[in-house]
Amino acid sequence: MGYGAMQLAGPGVWGPPRDMDEAIAVLREAVATGVNHIDTSDFYGPHVTNQIIKKALHPYPKGLVIVTKVGAKRGPDKSWNHARSRQDVTDAVHDNLRNLGLERLDVVNLRVGGMQDPEPGSIAEPLTALAELQAQGLIQHLGLSTINAEQLAEGQKIAKIICIQNFYNVANRKDDAFIVDLAKQGIAYA
């Protein structure tokens, strides 16, 4: 059972929440009621959501999996910008480690596309950098976010991909065939 922590930050996923004590209480209650997967990113806030997670739950309970994303950053105007260079993703991993209070991230998803749809293009540079950080022991597992089937195929030549996180709901079912293919490969779809 998962909890998406994006809305723990302030309005527009920017700055601190209106009520920090309530945000902390929500996280603690979620875990107390069985949530064992928290989806987050250090670009939420920026940094705010991960700092709240750390304050509320650190040291983390056994079995809690924290899945974070890299590949974007927030501009001073609150915009959502791509940040997929080798240096960008390396810095993002270290920011996530620091703000979550971890020595190793459970899962890091490389966000490639926009908020809802994949964008074409190579993912080799950022995913290679993440695979190197994984080899150094800073990341346990790698996933991809907002990607297409071609990008998955490219990514699988670089590293083992354990999950895909794409925009999907009752009204947006463009990934139906992709989901079937991922299931055959044993890759989780969130």
Positions marked active-site:
44
How far is it, in rounded angstroms, from Cα 119 to Cα 127?
Answer: 15
Question: 12, exposed or middle or buried, with CB in 10 Å at 0-12, 13-18, 19+?
Answer: exposed
Asked if 145 and 177 count as a contact pair (C-beta separation under 8 A), the reply is no
**Residues β-bridged to residue 38:** 3, 66
How far is it, in rounded angstroms, from Cα 85 to Cα 171?
Answer: 33
